[in-house]
């Protein structure tokens, strides 16, 4: 799915929450709660900036490499990844070279999950595929990585077969985003919540995001749109068919209409940005045709999602 | 409205495939998209424009159908029957004489006449034909009989009025030659000085031009030598119906020497004599500078040339020859002295000598016409076989026809080598000429012409050839000087200048004269000239002549609106006829404009990204162009 080398390049990255949260596990982050850690949980690599008091000097003496000891009852961070796998996410450009939306979204989920696990955070992944809500975690530690990959590959095998453009779309639409988000918000523990979605839902996204935001979750909206949505190359008199709802729409496309579409798109993304920011969250619009390196190592780091 | 080609209506069936293709095109292609969420918002934005969108889509169809409609309309060649005053074969006689330069109708009578002719051209039906004839002193056909309006217009634009009098009889002959059954002759003229128009054959119509006859003209300007110097005589005529007072100025060599206001009663003339002018002046110009009732400018100027008259002197040595004396006395600029013997050498010499059967020893380098050769050259008897054989090229036989001349007998001249035969008969030469001719006494003559027979032994003096021969001989022996050119020339007249002369027309660059003489005398003014003969002195080599309008006929410009042409007068009821007027070209132009409009509408609707469609996998949408 993702190459070993690419995953290695992610090792030193950490998710950067907007606020300090109190977690139930000892993590590398300072907790708002003061307390002592007693129960050993795991080791992890020392990274510059870590408190040297927490280095396990015995291990250092043996291996001559610094490791940090992790203990329960100390602060940690739960990372929630909500991976939208609704039919609109399954959309594929006709251009074979472009990885389709869903594949790129799944890869992003794996990569971000890997970063979270590698930095000792607790990871929860949930999708709302056709087969219903599927859940992974909560898990922590490097050992969970293989399970995560297995989970996502399982998703791809069941729900992510590519939808040819001319085939009427899949049957029942997935649970609407709002319902899913609201339901998740009820049970979610505070932490960092990454939403990987195109947000193309008839019912909108606002209520769901509001519910997530008010559950003490740091909203990170990773908006995935493919080139066919960002800059559609359509022309003439067409009957547009929504593969998610099977609704059709007659439209005569010319320059003026295309300009209007682009205008609408930018207004829409701007509205989501504002919405997320007002709820103390982050928003990043990504083109799914971009390479993973570009998205993770450049774009998300520039926007300080990752440090 | 009728149609010449109704069968072309079948082309209207093309509308069926157009509409069919259009309907086929309207079946929308289904295009799956990930979500129509945003597209629906776009549509909500455009709801206000939906009507326009629909309309525009239909607009293309409408434009295409209208284009087809107009094309079909053009193809069936619609025509309307219009009431035309003229139809069939038209001959238009357009007056281009000097009176048409009058400005009593703005901008001028000629322009008004041209406008009338253009109107006629515009009225030409499909089956009508027109011939344009410009009528001045030499009427000519401007365009051959044609239906081509553009050609007629072009030839009409090329003409301009001349300073000449219209030669209506020649124009009528020309029209009669062109005319035939069903021909209508249209005369566009001011009617001034056109008296013989009743001779026109067939149907005729007259379009009168001009409103006023007011015109002041200089009708005479003459120069005369008197004992007190030069005298000029100016006559100013009032051709109009109103008395006028006219300011006339006189310029000598371009400098104003006098001006005077003359009162000229209507229909009369006033004269002015200017005396004691400097005899050294060369040109004189009289002009009307100010007049109240003057609509023709061409006759407001007159020019005169003061010729320094140096006469050629001839000595006629004869015992009496009436023919010879008569012929020589009529030649211009020649003063002939008659004698029976050569005057003493101390006395004046003569430009030429004429020896009529006299034995005289001529001075060296004299120019001589020798009649009866035995007096100067040795001869060997006579011959009577005098039938004409041929004429050599020589200036003295220009325009001379020897064939009708009979000579009883001719002396056989033992001519020197320089004396060449000019006219040959079966027996021998009948006329000889040459330069540097030695006489019997070995004295050389500069130029000599020999008629080796006695005039009374031939009918030459009775023939028209005799004065021609005498004029040629005198001009040859004493070469033509500036004076032999007329000082007054009418516009359009040919001036018989010798080949090689150079003429300086007023305000133009010099022109070399060819063998046909100088013909470009269409502008009034002083024309200087220089003969290209190296022999004579400059004074004899150059001179000037004046081209003067001075045309009392054309100065009388009073228009005649009631001119009778052919059998009809102008106010007779003009019979109107039906003419077919086609207008398919208008339809074709409309169709083209619609096509352009349709293309424009289509271009506005389709993004310029059409090219990029080839790169993406989107199939190209059907275009309106493909429905044609």
Helix or strand or coil: residue A95?
coil
What gap in Å lies between CA B170 and CA B166, rounded to an integer? Answer: 9
CB pairs under 8 A between A and B: 121
pLDDT for A35 equals 38
Give the tokens for residue B45: 């934005």
Comparing alpha-carbon positions, the chain A residue that sits nearest to B39 is A261
pLDDT band at B485 (very low <50, low <70, confident <90, very high): low
CA distances from A190 to A21, A211, A307, B94, B146 (A): 7, 12, 20, 108, 102
A245 neighbourhood in chain B, CB within 8 Å: 36
What gap in Å lies between CA A232 and CA A248, rounded to an integer? Answer: 17
B617 neighbourhood in chain A, CB within 8 Å: 94-95
From B65-74, B117-126, B423-432, the region with the lowest mean pLDDT: B117-126
CB spacing of B36 vs A165 below 8 angstroms: no
Provide the angle, in degrees to the nearest 10, between the axes of the packed helices B37-46 and A255-278: 120
pLDDT for B114 equals 92
3-state per-residue secondary structure call for B310-329: CCEEEEEECCCCHHHHHHHH
- Number of alpha helices (DSSP H) and beta strands (DSSP E) in chain A: 10, 10
pLDDT for B540 equals 53
Question: Is the pTM above the cut of 0.90?
Answer: no
- Average pLDDT taken over every residue of chain B: 81
What gap in Å lies between CA A86 and CA A127, rounded to an integer? Answer: 9
A169-217 pLDDT tens trace: 444 556 788 888 888 888 888 888 999 988 888 888 888 888 888 888 8
Q: Nearest CA of chain A to the CA of B19: how many Å?
A: 17
Comparing alpha-carbon positions, the chain A residue that sits nearest to B613 is A233
Comparing alpha-carbon positions, the chain B residue that sits nearest to A269 is B38
Query: Does the pLDDT value for residue B181 go beyond 70?
Result: yes
B603 neighbourhood in chain A, CB within 8 Å: none
pLDDT band at B52 (very low <50, low <70, confident <90, very high): low
CA distances from B253 to B236, B278, B582, B602 (A): 21, 11, 62, 74
Helix or strand or coil: residue A51?
coil
Q: Nearest CA of chain A to the CA of B605: how many Å?
A: 6
B200-233 pLDDT tens trace: 777 788 888 888 888 899 988 888 777 677 888 8
Query: Does the pLDDT value for residue B300 go beyond 70?
Result: yes
pLDDT for B50 equals 58
Q: Are B217 and B266 in contact (CB under 8 A)?
A: no
pLDDT for B247 equals 92
CB spacing of B38 vs A261 below 8 angstroms: yes
Q: Nearest CA of chain A to the CA of B66: how many Å?
A: 23
pLDDT for B407 equals 92
What gap in Å lies between CA B231 and CA A176, rounded to an integer? Answer: 124
Query: Does the pLDDT value for residue A290 go beyond 60?
Result: yes
| Residue B276 φ/ψ region, left for φ over 0, alpha for ψ in the -120 to 50 degree band, beta for the rest | left
CB spacing of A244 vs B41 below 8 angstroms: no
Query: Does the pLDDT value for residue B449 go beyond 90?
Result: yes
Interface test with A, best of B34, B605, B617 (most A CBs within 10 A): B34
Give the tokens for residue B345: 């050498």
pLDDT for A94 equals 64
For the segment B576-601, the average pLDDT, to the nearest whole number, is 84
B374-423 pLDDT tens trace: 777 888 889 999 898 888 888 888 778 898 899 999 999 888 888 999 99
A23-50 pLDDT tens trace: 444 455 544 443 345 556 678 888 888 8
What gap in Å lies between CA B455 and CA B206, rounded to an integer? Answer: 59
Give the tokens for residue A282: 């982050």
pLDDT for A73 equals 47
Interface test with A, best of B37, B61, B614, B626 (most A CBs within 10 A): B37
From A86-90, A205-209, B547-551, the region with the lowest mean pLDDT: A86-90
What gap in Å lies between CA B597 and CA B70, rounded to an integer? Answer: 14
pLDDT for A270 equals 93
For the segment B261-272, the average pLDDT, to the nearest whole number, is 89
Percent of chain A with pLDDT over 90: 6
Comparing alpha-carbon positions, the chain B residue that sits nearest to A234 is B618
A247 neighbourhood in chain B, CB within 8 Å: 36
What gap in Å lies between CA B388 and CA B376, rounded to an integer? Answer: 25
A92-138 pLDDT tens trace: 766 655 567 888 888 888 898 888 888 878 889 988 877 778 888 78
Nearest residue to B500 (alpha-carbon basis) of B529, B477, B478, B526: B529
Percent of chain B with pLDDT over 90: 13
pLDDT for B249 equals 93
From A245-249, B326-330, B586-590, B621-625, the region with the lowest mean pLDDT: B621-625
What gap in Å lies between CA B460 and CA A156, rounded to an integer? Answer: 134
Rounded to an integer, what is the distance from CA B577 to the centroid of its chain? Answer: 36
Query: Does the pLDDT value for residue B477 go beyond 80?
Result: yes
Give the tokens for residue B383: 């011959």
What gap in Å lies between CA B221 and CA B274, rounded to an integer? Answer: 11
Of the candidates A165, A167, A260, the beta carbon closest to that of B42 is on A260
ω into residue B526 within 30 of 0, thus cis?
no
CB spacing of A88 vs B42 below 8 angstroms: no
CB spacing of A200 vs B35 below 8 angstroms: yes
Interface test with B, best of A230, A234, A289 (most B CBs within 10 A): A234
Comparing alpha-carbon positions, the chain A residue that sits nearest to B41 is A264
Residue A227: CB atoms within 10 Å: 17
B100 burial (CB, 10 Å; 0-12 / 13-18 / 19+) is buried
Q: Assess: ipTM above 0.85.
A: no
């Amino acid at each position: 799915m993702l190459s070993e080398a690419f995953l290695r390049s992610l090792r030193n990255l950490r998710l950067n929450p907007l606020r300090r949260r109190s977690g139930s596990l000892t993590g590398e982050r300072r907790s708002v709660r003061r307390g002592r850690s007693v129960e050993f949980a795991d080791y992890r690599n020392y990274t510059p900036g870590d408190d040297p008091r927490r280095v396990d000097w015995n291990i250092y003496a043996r291996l001559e490499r610094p490791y940090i000891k992790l203990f329960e009852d100390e602060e940690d961070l739960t990372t929630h990844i909500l991976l939208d796998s609704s039919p609109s996410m399954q959309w594929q450009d006709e251009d074979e070279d472009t990885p389709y939306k869903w594949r790129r979204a799944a890869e992003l989920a794996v990569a971000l999950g890997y970063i979270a696990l590698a930095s000792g955070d607790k990871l929860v992944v949930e999708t709302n595929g056709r087969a219903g809500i599927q859940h992974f975690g909560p898990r922590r530690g490097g050992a969970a990585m293989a399970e995560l990959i297995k989970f996502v590959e399982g998703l791809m095998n069941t729900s992510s077969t590519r939808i040819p453009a001319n085939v009427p779309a899949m049957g029942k639409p997935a649970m609407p985003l709002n319902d899913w988000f609201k339901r998740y918000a009820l049970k979610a523990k505070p932490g960092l919540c990454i939403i990987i979605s195109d947000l193309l839902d008839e019912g909108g996204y606002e209520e769901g995001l509001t519910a997530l935001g008010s559950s003490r979750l740091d909203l990170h909206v990773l908006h995935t749109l493919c080139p066919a949505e960002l800059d559609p190359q359509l022309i003439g008199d067409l009957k547009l068919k929504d593969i998610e709802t099977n609704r059709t729409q007659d439209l005569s496309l010319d320059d003026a209409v295309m300009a209007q579409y682009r205008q609408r798109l930018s207004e829409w993304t701007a509205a989501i940005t504002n919405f997320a920011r007002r709820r103390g969250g982050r928003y990043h619009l990504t083109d799914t045709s971009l390479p993973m390196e570009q998205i993770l190592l450049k774009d998300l780091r520039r926007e300080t999602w990752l440090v | 409205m009728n149609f010449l080609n109704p069968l072309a209506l079948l082309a209207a069936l093309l509308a069926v495939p157009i509409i069919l293709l259009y309907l086929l095109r309207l079946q929308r292609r289904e295009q799956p998209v990930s979500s129509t969420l945003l597209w629906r918002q776009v549509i909500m934005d455009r709801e206000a424009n939906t009507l326009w969108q629909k309309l525009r889509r239909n607009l293309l169809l409408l434009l295409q159908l209208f284009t087809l409609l107009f094309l079909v309309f053009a193809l069936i060649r619609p025509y309307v029957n219009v009431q035309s005053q003229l139809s069939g074969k038209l001959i238009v006689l357009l007056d281009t004489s000097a009176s048409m330069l009058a400005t009593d109708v703005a901008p001028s009578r000629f322009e008004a006449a041209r406008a009338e002719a253009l109107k006629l051209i515009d009225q030409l039906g499909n089956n009508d034909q027109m011939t344009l004839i410009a009528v001045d002193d030499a009427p000519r056909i401007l365009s051959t009989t044609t239906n081509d309006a553009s050609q007629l217009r072009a030839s009409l634009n090329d003409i301009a009025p001349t300073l000449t009098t219209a030669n209506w009889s020649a124009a009528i002959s020309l029209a009669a030659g062109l005319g035939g059954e069903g021909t209508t002759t249209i005369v566009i003229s001011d009617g001034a000085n056109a008296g013989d128009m009743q001779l026109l054959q067939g149907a005729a119509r007259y379009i009168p031009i001009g409103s006023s006859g007011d015109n002041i003209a200089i009708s005479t300007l003459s120069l005369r030598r008197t004992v007190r110097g030069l005298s000029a005589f100016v006559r100013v005529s009032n051709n109009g119906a109103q008395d006028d007072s006219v300011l006339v100025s006189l310029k000598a060599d371009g400098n104003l020497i006098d001006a005077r206001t003359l009162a000229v009663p209507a229909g009369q003339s006033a004269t002015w004599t200017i005396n004691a002018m400097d005899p050294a002046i060369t040109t004189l110009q009289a002009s009307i500078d100010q007049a109240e009732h003057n609509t023709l400018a061409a006759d407001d100027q007159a020019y005169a040339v003061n010729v320094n008259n140096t006469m050629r002197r001839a000595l006629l040595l004869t015992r009496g020859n009436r023919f010879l004396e008569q012929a020589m006395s009529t030649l211009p600029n020649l003063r002939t002295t008659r004698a029976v013997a050569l005057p003493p050498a101390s006395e004046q010499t003569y430009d030429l000598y004429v020896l009529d059967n006299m034995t005289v020893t001529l001075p060296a380098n004299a120019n001589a016409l020798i009649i009866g050769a035995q007096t100067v050259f040795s001869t060997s008897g006579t011959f009577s076989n005098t039938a004409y054989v041929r004429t050599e090229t020589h200036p003295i036989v220009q325009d001379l026809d020897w064939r009708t001349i009979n000579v009883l007998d001719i002396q056989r001249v033992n001519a020197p080598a320089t004396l060449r035969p000019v006219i040959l008969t079966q027996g021998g030469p009948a006329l000889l000429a040459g330069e540097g001719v030695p006489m019997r006494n070995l004295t050389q003559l500069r130029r000599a012409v020999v008629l080796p027979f006695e005039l009374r032994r031939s009918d030459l003096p009775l023939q028209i050839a005799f004065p021609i021969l005498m004029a040629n001989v005198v001009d040859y022996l004493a070469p033509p000087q500036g004076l032999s050119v007329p000082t007054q020339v009418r516009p359009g007249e040919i001036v018989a200048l010798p080949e090689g002369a150079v003429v300086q027309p007023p305000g133009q660059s010099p022109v070399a004269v060819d063998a046909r003489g100088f013909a470009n005398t269409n502008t009034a003014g002083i024309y200087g000239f220089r003969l290209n003969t190296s022999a004579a002195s400059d004074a004899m080599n150059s001179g000037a002549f004046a081209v003067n309008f001075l045309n009392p006929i054309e100065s009388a410009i009073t228009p005649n609106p009631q001119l009778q042409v052919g059998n009809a007068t102008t106010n007779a009821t003009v019979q109107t006829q039906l003419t077919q007027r086609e207008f398919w070209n208008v339809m074709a132009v409309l169709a083209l404009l619609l096509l352009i409009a349709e293309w424009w509408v289509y271009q506005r609707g389709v993004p310029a990204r059409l090219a990029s469609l080839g790169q993406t996998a989107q199939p190209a949408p059907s275009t309106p162009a493909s429905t044609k």
